[in-house]
A and B are shown apart, each in its own frame.
Chain A
C-alpha cells in the first residue's frame, strides 16, 4: 500500500515537471524582455556619468564588448544558451559574473527571509491558536485589530520605526548592514550576524505575521467547528492536545500553502527592508540593477528568483500530500 502511494506520488510529480520547465522557460524569456522594455539604457552604467562626453567610437566599442550592439534576437539566443550552460552572464554595473554576485548576496537574503518566514509562521500560528481557543473574548478581537493593522502597514514604515527606536534611541541594535564593519570571527561573528539580523527580520516578521495570523486563525476557526474536534473533546482530550494534535495538523495545509506563497511577497518585502537596514542581500542588488538597467544582473537575478519560487512550489507539491492525505489521490 505504501509502495503504491509512493509510486502515485512520483507519478504526480513527474507530470508536473514539464509544467515547471515550461514556467521556467517563460519566466526566463520574460526576465530577458522586461528590463529591455523599461525606458533608458545601461550606457551610463557601463561608461560612467555623462558618458556622452566620450567619443562615439568609445561608446560603440563598449556596447559591442557587452553585446548590446547585436539584434535583440541574437542577444536572446546568447542569453538562453548561456542559461542552458549555467552561465548567468556578466553584470554591467559590477563587472563580475552574475552567479558570483548572487552567491555572495543570496545567502543573506535567504537568512533574512528564511528567519522571518520561520518566526512569523510559528508566531502567527501560535497566536492564532491562542486566539481561536479564546474566541469571542475581547482579547481575540483586539488581536485581530492589531494584526490587521500590522498586515496593512508597509514594511518600510515598520522598519523605520524599529530602526529609530531600537537602533537609534535605545541603541540596542545596529542601524545598518548585515555584519559589523569591524571584522569579527567565529562565535563573535555569528553573534554579530544575529544582532544585525534582528531588526530587519523583526520588521519582516511584523509585516507578515498578520497575514499568517489571520489565515491561521481563519483555518483554525474552520477546523474547530469541525465534528472531529467535538469528537476529540468527547474522547476526553485536553484542549491543548486537541489544538496541537488535531486542529493544527488539519489546518496545516492552508497554512503551509500560504507560507509558501508568501515566500514571494516576503522577498518583495525584503527588498524594502534590506534597503532600510542597508542589508547586504539580493534585494539591494536587484534594486540597484533595475535603477541602472543592468540587464544581465536583472535577467540572471530574476531567473534565479524564478527558480527559487518554482522550487518552493515543487517543495509544496511534495509536502502537501504529507500534510493532508486527501491530496494524495
Chain B
C-alpha cells in the first residue's frame, strides 16, 4: 500500500518516546498531590501504546508530561525523552520546538480544543507556519490536504468550532495534530463524548493513519474497546503507578492484576453479557495515596503485606504486573478429574472424564450442563465430599487429598455450599436462627453474642428480616424462596472465599429467581468472593457468570468468557443450550 506521506519526517533511531520513573507532584494547595509515582513507559517508532485508567489515575498528567505541558505548580522528576531529547529540565524554548513537531497532542473533548473565535482552518495551519516555515498559500493547500486525509470536508475549514459536529471537530483536531507531520500522536481520550458510530469511524481513521503515516500513537483512555482497536501494548494505570502492562490483547482478555480485572468487569462492552459491575470502594485520594500497593484498600485478595510493600512490575503470564500475590489468585483448581460410579455389578458410569477447572479470586464461574452431564459429581469432588478416581482438586495451591484435619476445617469455613433444595439442606425442626448459626457453633467461632450478631448480619445480607419473630420461626414454616435465602445466609455466615451454588434457584418461581440472583451477585461483589454457579439454565447463569464451563457427558465441551461462549458457541451441545435458553428468554 502506498503511503501518502505529507512530508519528510525526522526519524529517531531509538524509541520515539521514553518515559522513565516519571513522578509528578502538584504543589498547589495545602497538601501536594502526587499524580504520578514512578511511571516507566516506552513508545517505539510506529508503535501504538495505550494507557488505561480511571479518572484520577494520573493518565492525563502522563499525557501532558510527555510534552511538558503541565501547569507551573507541577513538579516533575524522572525522565521524558521525546525523539531523543530529554524534556525534563530542558529549556522551555527547546521543549516548545518539539511540541507539535515531534509529538502532537490530540485533546479530549475536541469541541473545546478549538478557539471558538477563530476558524478551524487558521488553527490547523498555525503550527505549520510556526514549525515548517511554510508560506501562507502553501499552508492553505496543506491544510486542505490534511482535511482530506482525515476525511474532513475542506469547505469546513472556514467554519468555526461551534458550527461543526463532534466527529468533524475530532477530525479537525487530528488534522491539526498532523499539521507538522509528527512521528508521534498523543491522543488523550480521542473518542470521549462521541457517539458510538462516530467513535468507530474516528478509531478507523486513526488506525488507517497509523498504517499510512507510520505514526506512533500514545493513546490515553478509559475505553477498552478503543484500546483493543488501536493499540498493541497496554498499560493499566492506577493511583499514579502502572499496575499491569503487556500486549493489549493479553491484558484485555485475561487481566491478571486485580485492578485490571475489576476495571474490565466494570467496562460495558458487547462482549460482556452479564450485568455491569462496579469496583468496590473508591479511587485513591492522590493527596493521600495508600501505602504499599495503591489498590490494596479495594482489593478483595489483599493481605497485610500489600499495605506495606509497593510491588514492582514483574512478568506473569506473558505480561508484567505489580502485585505481591502474583496477580489474581486461583482459589480452586480442578485438574483432570475423572470419576466413575458403579451402577450395577458390571456397569460403571463415567460421571467425569478428565475435567479441569479454575476459579479465580472474585470470579464467578458458571457450570452449565444438562441433567446427567456430571455437574453434581463435579460439585461433590470440588468440595471434597467425594474423591476423584484420578486428578486433583487444589484449594489455593494445595491438594485436598493431602489435607490434614485442621486444613479441612479451614477449607470448610472458606468454601460454602448452597444446595438445590433447601428443604433437604436445612433441618426443618430448627429455627431460622439456629440454622444460620449452626456453622458457627460447629466451627466454634466467636462468643454467643458475636454469633447472634453475625447471624443477624447474614440474614440482613440476604434480605431477610433480622427480627426476633422471624429468627424464631421454624424452617418448615418458610416459603421456598425464604428458605433458600436462609440457606444462603447459613452459607455466608462463615465469610467464605468461595461459594458454590448448585442450582440455587431451580425450586423458585421466576420472580423469586431474579431477586435471589441479584442478591447473590451483590453478596459476591461486596465480599469479593469467588463463586461457582452450577445450573442447567444457561440463560440464568450467563447473567452472573464471568466465565462459563459447559459440561456434557462428564466432559468439558466448551469454556471461556460468558459472552463469547454464548455469542459463538463452538460445540453442538452449547448451541443446543443457547437455543434452549433463547426460547426460555422469550417466556
Give the B-binding residues of A (Cβ under 8 A): 1, 136, 226-228, 230-238, 241, 245-246, 249-250, 252-253, 323-326
Q: B19 contacts the other chain (Cβ, under 8 Å)?
A: no
Shortest Cβ gap from B481 to chain A (Å) = 54
Cross-chain contact B105 with A246 (CB below 8 angstroms): no
Residue pairs across A and B with CB atoms within 8 Å: the count is 83
- Residues of B within 8 Å of A246, CB to CB, are 115, 118
Q: 29 A-B contacts, Cβ less than 8 Å apart?
A: A136-B73, A228-B112, A228-B113, A228-B114, A228-B115, A228-B116, A230-B105, A230-B107, A231-B173, A234-B69, A234-B105, A235-B104, A235-B126, A235-B130, A236-B97, A236-B130, A236-B131, A237-B127, A237-B130, A246-B118, A249-B115, A249-B118, A250-B116, A250-B117, A252-B117, A253-B117, A325-B116, A325-B160, A325-B162
Known: A226-B112, A230-B107, A326-B162. 5 other contacts (CB 8 A): A233-B69, A237-B130, A246-B115, A249-B117, A323-B117
Q: B109 contacts the other chain (Cβ, under 8 Å)?
A: yes
CA distance A90 to B168 in the complex (A): 63
Which secondary structure dominates chain A's binding surface?
A: helix
Closest to B73 in A: A136
The one of B98, B116, B126, B160 in contact with A237, judged by C-beta atoms closer than 8 angstroms, is B126
Closest 9 CB pairs of A and B: A234-B105, A236-B99, A227-B112, A236-B100, A235-B100, A235-B127, A325-B160, A228-B115, A231-B113
Closest to B102 in A: A236
Shortest Cβ gap from B559 to chain A (Å) = 46
- Residues of A within 8 Å of B179, CB to CB, are 235
Q: B7 contacts the other chain (Cβ, under 8 Å)?
A: no
- Residues of A within 8 Å of B109, CB to CB, are 227
- Residues of B within 8 Å of A250, CB to CB, are 115-117
Q: B67 contacts the other chain (Cβ, under 8 Å)?
A: yes
Shortest Cβ gap from B278 to chain A (Å) = 29
B124-183 residues with Cβ-Cβ distance < 8 A to A are 126-127, 130-131, 158, 160, 162-163, 173, 176, 179
Shortest Cβ gap from B543 to chain A (Å) = 41
Q: B380 contacts the other chain (Cβ, under 8 Å)?
A: no
Cross-chain contact B116 with A324 (CB below 8 angstroms): yes
- Residues of B within 8 Å of A249, CB to CB, are 115, 117-118
Shortest Cβ gap from B431 to chain A (Å) = 64
- Residues of B within 8 Å of A241, CB to CB, are 130
- Residues of B within 8 Å of A231, CB to CB, are 105, 107, 113-114, 173, 176
Shortest Cβ gap from A324 to chain B (Å) = 5
Cross-chain contact A235 with B99 (CB below 8 angstroms): yes
Q: B101 contacts the other chain (Cβ, under 8 Å)?
A: yes
- Residues of A within 8 Å of B107, CB to CB, are 227, 230-231, 234
Cross-chain contact A234 with B115 (CB below 8 angstroms): no
- Residues of B within 8 Å of A230, CB to CB, are 64, 69, 105, 107, 113
- Residues of A within 8 Å of B100, CB to CB, are 234-236
Cross-chain contact B160 with A326 (CB below 8 angstroms): yes
The one of B99, B131, B158, B173 in contact with A233, judged by C-beta atoms closer than 8 angstroms, is B99
- Residues of B within 8 Å of A234, CB to CB, are 67, 69, 99-100, 104-105, 107
- Residues of B within 8 Å of A236, CB to CB, are 96-101, 127, 130-131
CA distance A30 to B115 in the complex (A): 44
Shortest Cβ gap from A248 to chain B (Å) = 10
Shortest Cβ gap from A138 to chain B (Å) = 14
CA distance A326 to B173 in the complex (A): 19
CA distance A250 to B162 in the complex (A): 13
- Residues of A within 8 Å of B130, CB to CB, are 235-237, 241
- Residues of B within 8 Å of A237, CB to CB, are 96, 126-127, 130
CA distance A250 to B113 in the complex (A): 13
Q: B281 contacts the other chain (Cβ, under 8 Å)?
A: no
Q: B72 contacts the other chain (Cβ, under 8 Å)?
A: yes
Closest to B101 in A: A236
The one of B72, B113, B160, B176 in contact with A227, judged by C-beta atoms closer than 8 angstroms, is B113
CA distance A323 to B113 in the complex (A): 19
CA distance A325 to B98 in the complex (A): 32
B465-519 residues with Cβ-Cβ distance < 8 A to A are none
B203-238 residues with Cβ-Cβ distance < 8 A to A are none
Shortest Cβ gap from A200 to chain B (Å) = 35
Cross-chain contact A1 with B158 (CB below 8 angstroms): yes
Cross-chain contact A238 with B96 (CB below 8 angstroms): yes
**Residue with the greatest number of chain A CB neighbours at <10 A, chosen from B101, B113, B114:** B113
